[in-house]
């Protein structure tokens, strides 16, 4: 199982939109996809409420082992409940242990994380193979990236025994191509981190993405010209992410 964490320590950047579309994208090819919603807002759980539901994600952080998971083609969701807000660092070892038991049941796991740093983010990064970070091109974007990279290094040393996280890169999200400021911020960000840390392409600010989340369906399932344009740009990005995950799996084989 290849596990990817979608993380940004800031809300409103399109993190959940990206996570659920990645799950839909992987599942449409027949893969067994596990989605773990660790965000207390539960937006991924809500959008994916029509998918197969297993048990609350907070069960992973309990001392007692959660129910056994049987992987099936399509999406299986570990959904949000109120207990997520009480998760502390002392619960993280339980999550790492329980999560390892799912490795052979699924092909992919997508973990949606909360926008503020804490035990749930630490746990997600501790168990992941890859990490992708949607980021808005607002002012101070570079400072946010520095914070993210610091968190990655912290988890690598304290939660992974020095084992590196495969950082797929930053995903330019909700990008306003008509904004001179945002275009300048994108150029500044690329200059600061290099193109190697950027996932190719941008997710443009489009109403179609909001409609997709509201209608609880992939943007490519919506029959409008705007949605078709959005689908083209997003699927190109998701294809790159999937290919990186597949390559990583082959390297580990």
Per-domain boundaries in the chain: 2-252
- Output the CA angle 195-241-208, nearest 5 degrees: 95
* Average pLDDT value for residue range 216-230: 94
Distances (CA, A) of 27 to 128, 149, 218, 251: 19, 30, 12, 22
Question: Tell me, what's the pLDDT at 248?
Answer: 73
CATH dotted code for 2-252: 3.40.50.300
More confident residue, 146 or 112: 112
Would the pLDDT of 140 be above 70? no
The whole-number pLDDT of residue 78 equals 97
Q: How confident is the model at residue 92 (pLDDT cuts 50, 70, 90)?
A: very high
Vertex 68 angle, CA 62 and 71, to 5°? 125
Q: Whole-angstrom Cα distance, residue 218 to residue 87?
A: 31
Cα 17 from chain centroid? 9
The SS3 of residue 54 is: strand
Closest alpha carbon to 214 in 82, 28, 20: 20
Average model confidence (pLDDT) across the chain: 90
Q: Is the pLDDT of residue 113 over 90?
A: yes
Is 221 in contact with 205 (CB distance < 8 Å)?
Answer: no
**How far is Cα 39 from Cα 90, in angstroms, rounded to an integer?**
18
CA angle 33, 36, 38 (to 5 degrees): 165
The reported pLDDT for the residue numbered 105 is 93
Cα within 13 Å of Cα(207), Cβ side = 3
* Alpha helices for 54-140 (secondary structure H): 92-100, 119-127
pLDDT level of residue 252 (50, 70, 90 thresholds): low
What per-residue confidence (pLDDT) applies to 245? 86
pLDDT of residue 186: 80
The length of the chain is 253
> Residue 141 has what pLDDT?
60
């Amino acid at each position: 199982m290849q596990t990817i964490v979608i993380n940004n320590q800031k809300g409103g950047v399109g993190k959940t939109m990206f996570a659920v579309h990645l799950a839909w994208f992987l599942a449409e090819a027949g893969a067994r996809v596990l989605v773990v919603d660790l965000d207390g807002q539960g937006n991924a759980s809500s959008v994916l409420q029509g998918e197969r539901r297993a048990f609350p994600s907070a069960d992973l952080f309990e001392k007692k082992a959660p129910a056994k998971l049987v992987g099936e083609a399509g999406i299986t969701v570990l959904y949000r409940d109120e207990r997520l807000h009480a998760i502390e660092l002392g619960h993280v070892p339980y999550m790492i242990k329980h999560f390892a038991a799912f490795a052979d049941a699924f092909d992919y796991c997508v973990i949606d994380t909360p926008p503020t740093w804490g035990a749930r983010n630490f746990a997600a990064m501790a168990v992941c193979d890859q990490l992708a970070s949607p980021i808005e091109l607002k002012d101070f974007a570079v400072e946010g990236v520095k914070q993210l990279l610091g968190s990655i290094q912290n988890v690598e040393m304290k939660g992974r025994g020095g084992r590196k996280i495969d950082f797929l890169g930053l995903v330019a999200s909700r990008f306003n191509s008509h904004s001179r400021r945002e275009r300048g911020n994108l150029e500044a960000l690329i200059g600061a981190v290099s193109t190697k840390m950027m996932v190719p392409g941008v997710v443009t600010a489009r109403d179609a993405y909001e409609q997709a989340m509201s209608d609880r369906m992939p943007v490519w399932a919506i029959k409008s010209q705007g949605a078709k344009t959005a689908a083209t740009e997003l699927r190109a990005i998701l294809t790159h992410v999937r290919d990186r995950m597949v390559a990583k799996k082959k390297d580990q084989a």
